[in-house]
Structure 1
Amino acid sequence: MTMSAGRFSRWFDRKGWSALLIGAPYLWLVAFFLLPFLIVVAMSVATKSPTAPPFSFGGEYPVVNLEAYSRVLSDGLYLRAFLTSITNAFVAMVLCLLIGYPMALCLTRVSKGWRNVLLMLVILPFWTSFLLRVYAWMGMMGRNSWFNGLLTDGWNFLVPLDWAVRSVPMMNTNFAVVLVMVYTYLPFMILPLYASLERLDPALDEAAMDLGSRPWQVFRDITLPQSIPGIIAGGMLVFIPAAGELVIPTLVGDASSPMIGRLISDEFSSARDWPMASAVAVTLLVLMVVPTMLYSHYQAKAEGSK
């Protein structure tokens, strides 16, 4: 017994702490990602039943029931929801990139004192409740708000008198969903871009300028290619959560054109069709994760070949 304890003590002193530190994240992923995911996959091949919980395996039903996946791939409601979710998320990602890239680039060009202040302003919205910020946008997009009035005055000033409107319809539209998602996820685009751009060597820009390149050519040939990893990282950080967003489409979106997150919530709560909701969730996860894994694989392969 003493010899075993001594061997364990020597092993723990040499490799134990490192094994514990390395294994802790894997245990966390297994407990809080892999096991819940396997439970959702199991529910997706179950059969809806009037029991508690509202699904079952075996009995008069097949043990593995793929009816839910068949509906996901054939029912127009789910296909439109997937298309709406992907479209809104893609538009929000592109707008975040167009807005966030200049902001991240400016953060790398200002003095360190101003840089800290501006970075604090970027993350400042995280200090308030996400739900409170969405409710604030609901008030701003209302027909009688100053924001809506400002947009209405601008529209009426630019268009002929026959096209004048009393207010710009914004609430319960995909426009409102994209607008609030851009506001919400913009920091997730700025921060990876800033981290990528901040590591660039300014001597490369100076060398290109000395060789006769104009500023836009320096950006096209030097800055933009080297910031592609930050663009991809920021794009994934915006696109993946935006595609599965629930709160924003529920509060400001169009109920007749729901996004997939709202459908999953309705299937779980209102319809109590847990197998269908699980099948939709698994399909969404596959659509989001598989491209990410393929990109990571080929990116690692490309870096290994250099």
Structure 2
Amino acid sequence: MSHPSSAPDYSVVVPVYLGQDTLRPLTAQLVEFFTTTGRTFEIIFVYDCGPDNSWQVIQELRAELGPELVRAVHLTRNFGQHNALLCGFGEARGRFIVTMDEDLQHRPADIEQLIRRQREGNFDVVYGRPGMLRHSRFRNVTSGAMRRLLRAGIPDLHPDYSAFRLLKADTARSCLDMRNSYTFLDGYLTWVTTHVASAPVEHQPRAAGRSGYTVGKLVAYSVNIFVTFSNLPIRLLTFTSVAVFLLTSSYSVYVLVRKLVYNDFLLGFPSLIISIGFGVGLILLGLGIVGEYIHRINLKTTRRPNFVKREAV
């Protein structure tokens, strides 16, 4: 089974790490969905060097279904899910791009919900919003805490962001020029567009195997993303340093005036307080200023776009 060489309507990008047992049923469900709905499509598997035989399964699927329908990229090492998705964006030929996990927790049939929602408002991005997460209780609690942390640090981040997305191809490709040690695709998308929506979908139990994300990895990843994409820590440091500087400076002035007027302090106390007060205040103020510069350097090295055009008429 193959499609003509013309660009398909949809490109489904699937990062693969531990998918040897789920890739075949996932592909079968995707083929059934798009064939039934009469939409042209391609599937792009990006193999992220997992410790199983996923690449062999991908090659078999490509041989069975044809290179026009199943395309594959083998990365040189494990770069992480979001970097694998960016790689897939560069290979995609469709007008729209769908991203989903390989573990069947995202139902291919629910792509229809994303498509309908996108058409309602011509949205640039539509996230799948699961009613109930089918992870372990502990994983759900820790993931929820990390999501709240990221949403507090990145106010423009859509509250329903997830790995199940439908994107306009131009929106997805706008992320390709950005570079960061801790890639966070949804953070990139907040820099590209605010025309984002979500649609209700089901979240199924993992069909086979185990997740490549441990709780420790999730925590470390979330903290790194929070520090990289959010200016909240820097702003807290800046505001705190300014407040401490004003407070210590005011008290130092008070001590100096009282020393000159009443001269009722112990010998050496005024000079000690003034030197410590001004010194600590200046140090913290300097740290706040340096932090603001570092944040701007981070934005520059990340290549955050100054603008992204929707259309020109």
Q: Pick the TM interval, shorter chain.
A: under 0.3
Q: TM-score scaled to structure 2, two decimals? A: 0.26
- Choose between structure 1 and 2: higher helix proportion: 1
Q: TM-score scaled to structure 1, two decimals? A: 0.26
The structure, 1 or 2, with the larger RCO (C-alpha pairs under 8 Å, 6+ apart) is 1
